Structure 1
Amino acid sequence: MAESREWTYQGLRGKLVARTWSGSQAPTHRVVIAHGYGEHIGRYEAVADALVRNGAVVYAVDHIGHGKSEGERVFVEDFEDIVTDLHTLDEAARKVHPDLPVVLLGHSMGGLIASRYAQRYGDTLAVLVLSSPAIGRWSAASALLAMKEIPDVPLDVTTLSRNPAVGDRYAADPLVWHGPFKRTTIASMQRAIEEVNKGPSLGDLPLLWIHGENDQLVPIEGTRLGIEHLRGDRYVERIYPGGRHELFNETNADEVIADVTAFIRTQLTAR
């Protein structure tokens, strides 16, 4: 397994807990991971280990209000601040590894954050990987905001993966948020989606989009609108039949991570 080190830094709205995963060999590239809504970077151990075995050193941070980081739970006033906090993480990593090409990987809400990051800081990236990203049109946001009161209903964990153990672990994880959505956060998320839609395409930045065909949390049709806006010529998509929301925790997770690492290798070699 990759060795990991936990550390902290100051974000715009509080102290953030970050983690670095590394291997015994000198890395050939750096991967930055942006996690999804309500979760934390501890859920990415297996992904980070696979990326390290592929030659990466991996950096990730619990977003404000998530996991071990400070802040009111899952409360986000402005996603631009989270993008800035992620850039601060990248700047810290760049001081340690100044010459390594950078891959940004974002899942779900983290895919939205990564998309906006690529629009703001695309010249610092070599590759972008978006996993089930909440971009383009996320109809759940409009539906939730239209409600007078957002119901306190727990997530249906069966929507995460066809592997029941994934949902069981999620439900038992004390660092995962199990409460209701917060209106301010959903409104901020909707604004961030609109900002991405209004922002520039990614030009020649290599983009890999992966999505489960049976994703009920972030339906593929809405995401495709955002992808078509962002994508350039160096673009690959992988749509997995029957796949649910968390592809890295799916029953075919080995296939998914193999596709991701192969894309990264191909694009970095092309550089």
Structure 2
Amino acid sequence: MPQPFQAERLRSSLRPLAATTNLSAEGLAYQRYYGLDLPGQPQVRSRLGRFSSSGVELVSQLWLPPEPQGTLILLHGYYDHMGLYRHVIDWALGLNLAVLAFDLPGHGLSAGPRASIDDFAAYQQALQDLFAEAASLDLPQPWHLCGQSTGGGILLDFLLNGEPRPEPGAIVLLAPLVRPRAWGLSKLSYHLLSPFKSAIPRRFSANSTDPAFLDFLQHHDPLQPRTLPTAWVGAMARWIPRIERAQCSPLQPLVVQGEDDMTVDWRYNLAVLEQKFDQPNILRIPGARHHLANEHEDIRRRYFAFLSEHLR
């Protein structure tokens, strides 16, 4: 499958979202490639722009239904990017919500060392800068928050350790990261390897029951990183105790977790969430794996119904 866009060239051609009107030909090609043009929703307008966070140029994207009744702010997972979240975007638009998303530093169309970060605090700064983008666009309240995996971990950090302003609407956590599966072994490997290697080859896992998605991810997605930087693992190792030590919150997030998730330590993670929040509303799905945003249609239909009931 030919690549119809070049990430750096596309990013450099972008302006701030507030100043953006029509997408360029390359921007349109990018959206078509990932299905973000949403051909089933012709009334939806979209924008593609960029903003700066800690000196790094990040790419953001907005989808606007004709009369939105709120906004969903969407954070993707590690190795991911906005292009993989069309199912979540389509669902939110069906609830008449505007959708604002961005590629994390080092991911997708955004600049920065690929899939790496020196400190998870950079993710918090990027989130605050995204809130500033939402405010500059005067996006309708309430602002619901949704994060998959590492995106969910970023939201946890914001809710437990930050200054949750603006006050969030619903909080949706899809297979949120607190710590990954087999964390003890991974941490040992990091301490052994980090003095000698800056990165190790990435292993693609069967993190969804949708074989077409798995094939696309490994063979047809030009924005997929191919290494695991040890700096990112070190940053995560310093971040996990920060979440574990955080004070409790009266918020009640909506949590969706697959019981066949082999990426995060989901039993431990759910226990942490039940301790930190006031009766989080948890949906456990037997047979579902980690990448819930791209799980099989039957699984997506089940958890979207659960989320829709609470957001309405």
Question: Is contact 1:126-1:206 (8 Å) kept?
Answer: no
Residue in 2 aligned with 1:245?
290
Give the SS at the match of 2:216.
helix
Question: Is contact 2:71-2:139 (8 Å) kept?
Answer: no
Residue in 2 aligned with 1:185?
232
Tell me how far apart the structure 1 counterparts of residues 56 and 103 of structure 2 sit (CA, whole Å). Answer: 11
Unaligned 5+ segments in structure 1 are: 266-271
Alpha-carbon distance, 1:230 to partner: 2.3
Q: Does structure 1 residue 63 correspond to structure 2 residue 111? A: no
Counterpart selection for 1:91 from 125, 132, 138: 132
Residue in 1 aligned with 2:277?
231
Residue in 2 aligned with 1:268?
none
Q: Does structure 1 residue 72 correspond to structure 2 residue 113? A: yes
Counterpart selection for 1:27 from 46, 68, 75: 68
Counterpart selection for 1:121 from 144, 160, 163: 163
Residue in 2 aligned with 1:162?
209
Tell me how far apart the structure 2 counterparts of residues 104 and 224 of structure 1 sit (CA, whole Å). Answer: 18
Tell me how far apart the structure 2 counterparts of residues 155 and 254 of structure 1 sit (CA, whole Å). Answer: 25
Q: Which has the higher contact order (CA 8 A, sep 6+)?
A: 1
Give the SS at the match of 2:125.
helix
The root-mean-square deviation of aligned C-alpha atoms, in Å, is 1.8
Residue in 1 aligned with 2:247?
200
Tell me how far apart the structure 2 counterparts of residues 222 and 114 of structure 1 sit (CA, whole Å). Answer: 18
Give the SS at the match of 1:105.
strand
Question: Is contact 2:258-2:284 (8 Å) kept?
Answer: yes
Residue in 1 aligned with 2:259?
213
Which amino acid is the alignment partner of residue 152 of structure 1?
P
Which amino acid is the alignment partner of residue 111 of structure 2?
E
Alignment of structure 1 residues 45-64 onto 2, 5 Å: 45-64=86-105
Larger radius of gyration: 2
Which amino acid is the alignment partner of residue 273 of structure 2?
I
Q: Which runs of 4+ in 1 moved over 3 A?
A: 136-141
Which amino acid is the alignment partner of residue 10 of structure 1?
S
Question: Is contact 2:200-2:230 (8 Å) kept?
Answer: no
Structure 1's 108 and 71: CA in aligned 2 closer, same or farther, altered over 3 A? same
| Superposition TM-score, scaled by structure 2 size | 0.78
Tell me how far apart the structure 2 counterparts of residues 187 and 226 of structure 1 sit (CA, whole Å). Answer: 21
Give the SS at the match of 1:69.
coil
Aligned residues: 259
Question: Is contact 1:77-1:185 (8 Å) kept?
Answer: yes
Residue in 2 aligned with 1:133?
176
| Superposition TM-score, scaled by structure 1 size | 0.89
